[in-house]
Structure 1
Amino acid sequence: MSREKTLVELVDANGLTIGSTTVAEAHTAPGRLHRAFSVLLIDAGGRLLLQQRAEIKTRFPLRWANACCGHPAPTGDLVTAASRRLDEELGLGSIALKPVGVYVYRALDPVTGRVEHEYDHVLVGEVDGEVPSPDPSEVLALRWADPADVRRAVEAEPQSYAPWLAGVLAVWDAAQAEPGG
């Protein structure tokens, strides 16, 4: 089945489930708020793994984003779904992931006309020697980058980055600032 035909969980502004619809319908203008996840992968040196989204992506193709993103199935387990996507996109299915917060955003893709309106759970994993093996239908390129450099680049060239990346990084920053974070 095409990923566009799979179901996503619709949520209200508080993240409570209110129904489901297909990926395609959720991302058709004006967009419907639905549950999603964004995974940040960090190496031992504190660098972030960024992926350049493949040209065939239906939303924000060719833009740089966090390690991977996706949608859990309705009533599905968030960490399990994120681990599955890490394996599908990067061949990294065995990374332990920790939820660190939520970022809600809405963004219109000017190229495809599709809309991201997501209740985005941010998960973080540490990479220790694992070598990504990206699926070329998902990922055009990968690179490791210093988080401060990424923040500056997103601000200077927002058209080169996924519109959710700055918010996802802000959630991670807030989680690190908390005691025990």
Structure 2
Amino acid sequence: MTEPLADPSTDREALLVELVDESGRATGACSVAEAHRAPGILHRAFSVLLFDLRGHVLIQQRAAAKTRFPLQWANTCCGHPLPGQPVTEAAAIRLREEFGLAAELTEVGAFRYRAGDASTGRVEHEYDHVLIGTLGEHPPQPDPAEIAHWTLLSPANLRADLTESPGKYTPWLAQVLDLAEQATPS
């Protein structure tokens, strides 16, 4: 069975996100745009990190048109489930929309963070579920409206560059990598 892709004409900023409390319990809903207006409203999100068979991670440089943290490097893909939508279902759909990929995803943890984007004035205040999977044989087919560039890096090289040049990366990537590495056997 295949998941339906989002209507490309959909204004992603008008979609609903699920608001949550500090423990991740649902408390309501609002639009993506409203949730990301300063000071930010805590809402459910997900971050996917795919590993290839050599253990390298697939990361993307977010497209220039992104409304938050454009042109910064991030995990394989991320997004928001609709209110009541299972996180793994939403993540699988987003992975297909952004990269044209399918993978079996496993949730390995969650964390909360708040980060302001000085370039856009928007704020991420998210209860972020981290999911990992294995990159299959099919090459990524990124949507240029979502992804400017992509690469595969060893976690050690990514960690070193995150330390050396943190401004190149989204503020959540280090925590996503931490949870993914804790769940991945060495």
TM-score (norm 1): 0.95
**Which letter does structure 1 place at the counterpart of 2:34?**
E
Counterpart CA distance in 2 for 1:130 and 1:70 is: 22
Counterpart CA distance in 2 for 1:23 and 1:39 is: 19
Q: How far did residue 171 of structure 1 move? A: 1.2
Partner of 2:172: 164
Q: Is the 8 A contact 2:61 2:149 kept in 1?
A: yes
Counterpart CA distance in 2 for 1:137 and 1:146 is: 26
What are the ranges of 5 or more consecutive residues in structure 1 without an aligned counterpart? none
Secondary structure at the residue paired with 2:34? helix
Counterpart CA distance in 2 for 1:53 and 1:8 is: 20
Partner of 1:18: 27
Q: How far did residue 175 of structure 1 move? A: 2.5
Counterpart CA distance in 2 for 1:23 and 1:43 is: 31
Q: Is the 8 A contact 2:103 2:136 kept in 1?
A: no
- The alignment status of 1:76 with 2:85, answered yes or no, reads yes
- Paired residue total: 177
1:9-62 CA-to-partner distances (Å, cap 9, x unmatched) read: 000000000100000000000000000000000000000001000000000000
Counterpart CA distance in 1 for 2:99 and 2:33 is: 23
Secondary structure at the residue paired with 1:49? strand
Secondary structure at the residue paired with 1:51? strand
Aligned with 1:95 (options 103, 107, 111):
103
Q: Is the 8 A contact 1:70 1:82 kept in 2?
A: yes
1:62-90 CA-to-partner distances (Å, cap 9, x unmatched) read: 00001000000000011110000001000
Partner of 1:40: 49
Aligned with 1:112 (options 110, 113, 120):
120
**Which letter does structure 2 place at the counterpart of 1:81?**
A
Counterpart CA distance in 1 for 2:122 and 2:11 is: 17
Q: Is the 8 A contact 1:35 1:120 kept in 2?
A: yes
Identical-residue share of aligned pairs (%): 53
What are the ranges of 5 or more consecutive residues in structure 2 without an aligned counterpart? 1-9
Q: After TM superposition, which residue ranges in structure 1, 4 or more long, deviate above 2 angstroms?
A: 173-177
- The alignment status of 1:55 with 2:64, answered yes or no, reads yes
- The alignment status of 1:146 with 2:169, answered yes or no, reads no
Counterpart CA distance in 2 for 1:172 and 1:135 is: 24
Q: Is the 8 A contact 1:9 1:34 kept in 2?
A: yes
TM-score (norm 2): 0.93
Counterpart CA distance in 1 for 2:170 and 2:74 is: 5
**Which letter does structure 1 place at the counterpart of 2:176?**
V
- The alignment status of 1:30 with 2:39, answered yes or no, reads yes
Note the aligned Cα RMSD (angstroms): 1.1
